[in-house]
């Protein structure tokens, strides 16, 4: 099977009712990103970050995969679909996608604040001060904050390098190193981008589908079927 690699961002979950970050009334219009999503903020005010991620976790639990998520899962019948997502929600998985790599962590997980290898799946949507890991340290959200490394890049780069087709969906391509992944795509493969307001300065060969994720993935499926004829 040909390998279809998807690079998704917050726009992928917009139609599920989950706010993006940099659109009008995006999350970063309401919160100062460095106050709620940076390692410095965690040291300064961990309670605030626990509340911020508890709220986002509850919103995720109340949301469901949209048609775009479901179509990506359906594409697994015809392609080896590998999803690399900047999103921390579990909507790709809940839609049925089986290969999902989270670059920026997962809301459904907690981790030790002294041993990053100690990762726990949360059963309760709330994480509070005093919740401890097996080594007795405070649990933290399993999220990559600004100012931290992105360990999953080591796994993501070879996946992009092995793509037969690549489609970017719903990301402003503002945040590195994630945004730089598109540059690892083999020069010979078709590149697509689905976004109603596509970011500027894209490589010329990118085929832009200026639609929302649900309509856009349906369009992508038609284009891929044409290419396979």
Q: By CB under 6 A, what part of segment 74-113 binds ligand APR?
A: 86, 104
Q: Which range of residues in 11-19, 73-81, 92-100, 128-136 is near ligand APR by CB under 6 A?
A: 11-19
| Among the listed residues 1, 21, 185, the one whose alpha carbon sits nearest the alpha carbon of residue 87 | 21
- Which of 4, 53, 156, 212 touches ligand APR (CB under 6 A)? 212
Q: Which of 6, 10, 70, 166 binds ligand APR (CB under 6 A)?
A: 10
List of E strands, 86-138: 100-102, 105-112, 119-121
Answer yes or no: are the C-beta atoms of 110 and 140 closer than 8 Å: yes
Q: Does 15 bind ligand APR (CB under 6 A)?
A: yes
Report the nearest approach of ligand APR to the CB of residue 3 (Å): 22
Q: Buried b vs exposed e over 196-205: b needs ≥16 C-beta within 10 Å?
A: eeebeebeee
Give yes or no for residue 71 binding ligand APR (CB under 6 A): no
- The span from the CA of 113 to the CA of 138, in Å, is 6
- The answer to whether 157 touches 150, Cβ cutoff 8 Å, is no
Which residues are annotated as catalytic? 104
Say if residues 105 and 90 touch (Cβ distance below 8 Å): no
Check binding of 16 to ligand APR (CB under 6 A): no
Decide if residue 11 touches ligand APR (CB under 6 A): yes
Tokens describing residue 68:
């775009």
Q: Please give the residue ranges that form the binding site for ligand APR (CB under 6 A).
A: 9-11, 14-15, 20-23, 26, 33, 86, 104, 170-172, 174-175, 194-197, 199, 212-213
């Amino acid at each position: 099977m040909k390998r279809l690699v998807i690079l998704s961002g917050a726009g992928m979950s917009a139609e599920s009712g989950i706010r993006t970050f940099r659109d009008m009334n995006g999350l970063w219009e309401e919160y100062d990103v460095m106050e709620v999503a940076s390692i410095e903020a965690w040291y300064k005010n961990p309670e605030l970050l626990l509340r911020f991620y508890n709220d986002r976790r509850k919103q995720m639990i109340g949301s469901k995969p949209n048609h775009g998520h479901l179509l990506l899962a359906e594409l697994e019948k015809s392609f080896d679909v590998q999803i690399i997502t900047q999103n921390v929600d579990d909507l790709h998985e809940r839609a049925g996608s089986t290969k999902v790599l989270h670059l920026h962590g997962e809301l459904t997980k907690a981790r030790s604040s002294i041993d990053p290898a100690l990762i726990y799946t949360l059963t309760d949507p709330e994480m509070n001060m005093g919740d401890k890991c097996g080594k007795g340290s405070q649990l933290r959200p399993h999220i990559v904050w600004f100012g931290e490394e992105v360990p999953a890049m080591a796994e993501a780069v070879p996946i992009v390098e092995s793509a037969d087709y690549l489609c970017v969906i719903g990301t402003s391509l503002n945040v590195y190193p994630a945004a730089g992944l598109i540059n690892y795509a083999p020069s010979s493969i078709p590149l697509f981008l689905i976004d109603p307001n596509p970011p500027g300065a894209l490589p010329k060969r990118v085929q832009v589908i200026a639609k929302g994720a649900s309509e856009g993935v349906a369009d992508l499926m038609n284009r891929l079927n044409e290419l396979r004829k």
